């Protein structure tokens, strides 16, 4: 006799997907907040990228803290609390962050805003650690993947809406406002925005806490020991602090009238420390894996090369995904790229993050058991519908979307790539990484609409990468799968490291080519090209690594979701 399916807890699931929405809403909204803060607080490009630094550093610190607790306590903290309480605590922590943002806005302090965003994201890190497995428990296990993908789809919709709402909150209009006028704007609407967001966090936490139908989700599982891996990560964290302190100190007591030569020398000094920070991550992980393969005791999942290379893959993937959008506002200001004011860039930022929604919705089709003909039809139709939603949402907000109509050509290219990739993770990652390298190269060597479309299409390329990198990285890990997943989540840190590197690269290149307006920000996209190039390398080499371990890397199918 067939067992009846467990009914889906619709109320809890609805509340949970609203939480998914706000992860995407705030993360993408930062891409509009960055150029606004640059002009409002008179920052350089690197300083403006500290918004991403604070936001994504919190994910890393949160994940590292949870891992450290498990290493010392022998039990997973989220499992001990239960998914329900973990999400409640995460929501309340984010509400505290929203309150900190309101205080910082009232005090008109950029550093305070960074602290507020850090606390918001620290709450997000706890929420996200619990949310995906929690969504599976809210119904029959056989339909768990569909609920995870529903959350991912709603998250992507949040990334599309976020830039529009944040732009309206900051500028109060869709009309052009000059960058000089930005300095005189009131931040009162930002207070209203974060008051609403904080209130929703508290309401969602209360709904989860008082709901009798929501399972506690307590798991008393012992964690696998990995003390050497933890020590390595703590040392890496300390070295990252060492690398960033001189950069921050270099902004103190600056002479207001530095010569061009002195400015270039200063930017060179800062770049060296930033490259040092990047080296800490790359060399630290590679050295850890090399040591672990010689003697695996105490290293846990880090003894697997596919995981360590995948950690670097997640690092550069999240980094490039965030960096393209975060630096786009400065690029669009340049005369060769439209000469837009900061108040006019929201449609482009929305389309960039909407591109991730387009790809993830298409990727999510594989989660449903459809006939081959239906699957092919939906693979063609769904991306076009998603593209129409992005256009429609911005049009409702009264933005002129005419410059973006022909972007549909890029969407059609992505659809072709989906058909060629056949839902196989290694092949999909390789194809979309090659497209990413190609798009960045076209963007760097051209100007105007072609270049803008090329950089925007980086979102299409990134859209499907998370599940590909994740599945390839944890393949064959066995009892270390959960631990390996935690290590991968930590590498969201890339979103806090790569954007500042690109921002400082823009400052450095501009200081050496001061006579060419926009040269620095345009050529800084070489950073993004290099990130995609590493993902090409990973897609190729991981196949051989898994083959040696007797793993068929093309049996798993890819479904769309994201960090």
Partners of 222 in beta bridges:
75
Is the CB of residue 361 less than 8 Å from the CB of residue 345? no
Partners of 75 in beta bridges:
222
Find the angle CA(266)-CA(271)-CA(276) to the nearest 5 degrees: 135
Per-residue pLDDT of the chain (563 residues; tens, 9 = 90+): 456 666 777 777 787 888 888 889 999 989 988 988 888 888 999 999 999 999 999 999 999 998 888 888 777 788 788 888 889 999 999 999 999 999 999 999 999 999 999 999 999 999 888 887 777 777 766 666 667 777 888 888 899 899 998 888 888 766 667 777 777 777 888 888 899 889 989 988 888 888 776 666 666 667 777 788 899 999 999 999 999 999 999 998 877 788 888 888 999 999 999 999 999 999 999 999 899 888 888 888 899 999 999 999 999 999 999 999 999 999 999 999 999 988 889 999 999 999 999 998 888 787 666 788 888 999 999 999 999 999 999 999 889 999 999 999 999 999 999 999 887 889 999 999 999 999 999 999 999 999 999 999 999 999 989 988 988 998 888 888 888 888 999 999 999 999 999 999 999 999 888 788 888 999 999 999 999 999 999 999 999 999 998 887 665 555 556 66
From the candidate CATH numbers 1.20.1250.20, 2.60.40.1180, 3.40.50.970, 3.40.50.300, the one assigned to the domain spanning 10-251+259-548: 1.20.1250.20
Closest by alpha carbon to 158, among 390, 468, 490, 403?
390
- Quick one: 4 exposed, middle or buried, by C-beta within 10 A (0-12, 13-18, 19+)? exposed
Residue 1 confidence (pLDDT): 45
Question: Integer distance in angstroms from the first to the last C-alpha of the chain?
Answer: 40
What number of other Cβ atoms are within 10 A of residue 320's Cβ? 30
Residue 3 confidence (pLDDT): 60
The Cα-based distances of 267 to 47, 470, 526 in angstroms read: 12, 36, 17
Residue 498 confidence (pLDDT): 97
Residue 355 confidence (pLDDT): 95
Helix axes 144-171, 110-137, angle to 10 degrees: 160
H/E element holding 64?
A: helix 50-73
Who's near 530: CB < 8 A, 6+ residues apart?
none
Question: Tokens 């993902």 map to which residue?
Answer: 535
Is the CB of residue 557 less than 8 Å from the CB of residue 465? no
- Quick one: 222 exposed, middle or buried, by C-beta within 10 A (0-12, 13-18, 19+)? exposed
Who's near 294: CB < 8 A, 6+ residues apart?
none
Is the CB of residue 59 less than 8 Å from the CB of residue 107? no
């Amino acid at each position: 006799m067939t067992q009846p399916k467990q009914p889906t807890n619709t109320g809890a699931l609805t509340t949970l997907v609203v939480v998914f929405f706000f992860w995407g809403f705030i993360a993408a909204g930062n891409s509009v907040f960055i150029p606004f803060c640059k002009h409002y607080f008179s920052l350089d490009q690197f300083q403006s990228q500290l918004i991403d630094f604070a936001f994504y550093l919190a994910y890393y610190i949160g994940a590292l803290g949870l891992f450290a607790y498990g290493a010392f306590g022998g039990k997973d903290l989220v499992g001990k609390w239960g998914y329900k309480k973990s999400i409640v605590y995460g929501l309340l922590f984010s509400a505290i962050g929203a309150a900190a943002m309101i205080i910082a806005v009232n005090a008109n302090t950029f550093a305070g805003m960074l602290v507020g965003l850090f606390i918001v994201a620290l709450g997000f890190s706890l929420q996200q650690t619990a949310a995906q497995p929690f969504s599976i428990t809210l119904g029959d296990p056989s339909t768990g993947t569909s609920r995870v993908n529903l959350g991912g789809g709603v998250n992507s919709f949040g990334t599309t809406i976020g830039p529009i709402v944040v732009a309206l909150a900051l500028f109060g209009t869709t009309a052009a406002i000059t960058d000089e006028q930005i300095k005189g704007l009131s931040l009162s609407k930002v207070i209203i925005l974060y008051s609403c967001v904080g209130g929703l966090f508290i309401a969602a936490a209360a709904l989860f806490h008082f709901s009798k139908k929501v399972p506690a989700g307590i798991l008393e599982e012992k964690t696998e020991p990995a003390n050497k891996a933890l020590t390595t990560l703590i040392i890496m964290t300390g070295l990252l602090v060492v690398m960033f302190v001189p950069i921050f100190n270099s902004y103190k007591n600056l002479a207001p009238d530095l010569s061009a030569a002195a400015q270039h020398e200063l930017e060179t000094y800062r770049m060296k420390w930033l490259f040092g920070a990047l080296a800490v991550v790359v060399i630290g992980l590679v050295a850890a894996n090399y040591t672990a393969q010689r003697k695996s005791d105490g290293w846990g999942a880090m003894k697997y090369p596919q995981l360590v290379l995948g950690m670097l893959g997640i690092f550069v993937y999240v980094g490039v995904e965030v960096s393209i959008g975060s630096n786009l506002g400065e690029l669009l200001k340049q005369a060769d790229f439209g000469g837009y004011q900061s108040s006019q860039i929201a449609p482009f930022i929305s389309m960039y993050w909407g591109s991730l929604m387009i790809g993830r919705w298409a990727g999510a089709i594989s989660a449903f058991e459809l006939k081959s003909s239906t699957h092919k039809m939906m693979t063609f139709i769904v991306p076009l519908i998603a593209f129409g939603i992005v256009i429609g949402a911005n049009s409702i907000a009264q933005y002129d979307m005419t410059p973006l109509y022909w972007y549909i050509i890029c969407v059609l290219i992505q659809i072709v790539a989906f058909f060629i990739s056949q839902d196989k993770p290694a092949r999909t990652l390789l194809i979309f990484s090659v497209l990413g390298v190609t798009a960045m190269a076209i963007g760097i060597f051209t100007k105007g609409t072609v270049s803008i479309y090329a950089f925007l299409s980086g979102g299409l390329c990134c859209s499907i990468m998370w599940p590909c990198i994740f599945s390839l990285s944890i393949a064959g890990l066995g009892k270390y799968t959960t631990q390996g997943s935690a290590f991968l989540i930590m590498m969201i840190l890339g979103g806090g490291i790569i954007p500042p590197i690109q921002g400082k690269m823009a400052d450095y290149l501009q200081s050496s080519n001061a006579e060419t307006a926009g040269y620095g920000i345009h050529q800084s996209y070489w950073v993004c090209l290099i990130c995609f190039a590493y993902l090409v390398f990973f897609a190729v080499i991981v196949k051989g690594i898994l083959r040696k371990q007797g793993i068929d890397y093309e049996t798993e199918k890819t479904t769309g979701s994201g960090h």
